[in-house]
Amino acid sequence: MQISGYNLKLTEVISGYNLMNTQNQKLLLEQIDRKLAVLKPLEKLIIPQRGWIFTIRTALKMSLRQLGNKLGISSQSVNEIEEREINGNITIKSLRDVANALGLKLVYGFIPKGESIENMVETRAYEIAREIVLRTSNTMKLEDQENSKLRIEKSIKEKAEEIKNKMPKYLWD
């Protein structure tokens, strides 16, 4: 293959693409983790029992009718929105509309249950690597070619690193 005066083998192009793709994926994970880290302190936030809409509306001493007027809906519809929030059936659009009517901004996001998204990938890669290596190790054991525990653990770590770097489609199967 000829690219701007350079002779490149197809394998070099593919290898370069894979390296760039891996680096881009790693950078993307790091960027997402940085963005989500801002939300991490909200993990301990306790949602009011009657929901945010009701709580903020009543704190502002705003009636259902008044909020309904701002939204262009009836007071009964506002009450239904508050109920849907409590039941977890409310849409993001409804939350955004109510926030705007209250002079607020809706902010939503996801918070990893563990430390980070990157940590999730590492954990899952290790789980898969362990399955693969132990399956292979078991086959070798049956053929009287058993590896040491140290060698098996090293293989698991190497395979986990490979899976983490390549992030194959089967990672989340």
DSSP of the chain: -EETTEE--HHHHHHHHHHHHHHHHHHHHHHHHHHHHTTGGGGGPPPPTT-HHHHHHHHTT--HHHHHHHHTS-HHHHHHHHHHHHHT---HHHHHHHHHHTT---------SSS-HHHHHHHHHHHHHHHHHHHHHHHHHHTT-PPPHHHHHHHHHHHHHHHHHH--GGGG-
117 and 34 belong to one structural domain: yes
34 and 117 belong to one structural domain: yes
Is the model's pLDDT at 156 over the cut of 70? yes
75 and 159 belong to one structural domain: no
Question: Is pTM beyond 0.75 here?
Answer: no
- CATH no. for residue 56? 1.10.260
The reported pLDDT for the residue numbered 142 is 58
Could you give the count of Cα atoms lying within 13 Å of 166 in the half-sphere of its Cβ?
Answer: 14
The better pLDDT of the pair 136, 36 is held by 36
94 and 121 belong to one structural domain: no
The better pLDDT of the pair 144, 1 is held by 144
Q: pLDDT (tens digit, 9 = 90+) per residue, 43-89?
A: 899 999 999 999 999 999 999 999 999 999 999 999 999 999 999 99
131 and 159 belong to one structural domain: yes
- DSSP β-bridge partners for residue 134: none
Domain total of the chain: 2
The reported pLDDT for the residue numbered 147 is 72
21 falls within a domain: yes
69 contacts 98 by C-beta, under 8 angstroms: no
CB atoms within 10 A of CB 71: 17
70 and 95 belong to one structural domain: yes
User: Which range marks the domain in which residue 97 is found?
Assistant: 52-101
96 falls within a domain: yes
- At 2, the pLDDT band (50, 70, 90 cuts) reads very low
6 and 57 belong to one structural domain: no
44 falls within a domain: no
From 62, 79, 101, the end of a domain falls on 101
108 falls within a domain: no
10 and 60 belong to one structural domain: no
96 and 122 belong to one structural domain: no
CA distance 150 to 146: 12
119 contacts 112 by C-beta, under 8 angstroms: yes
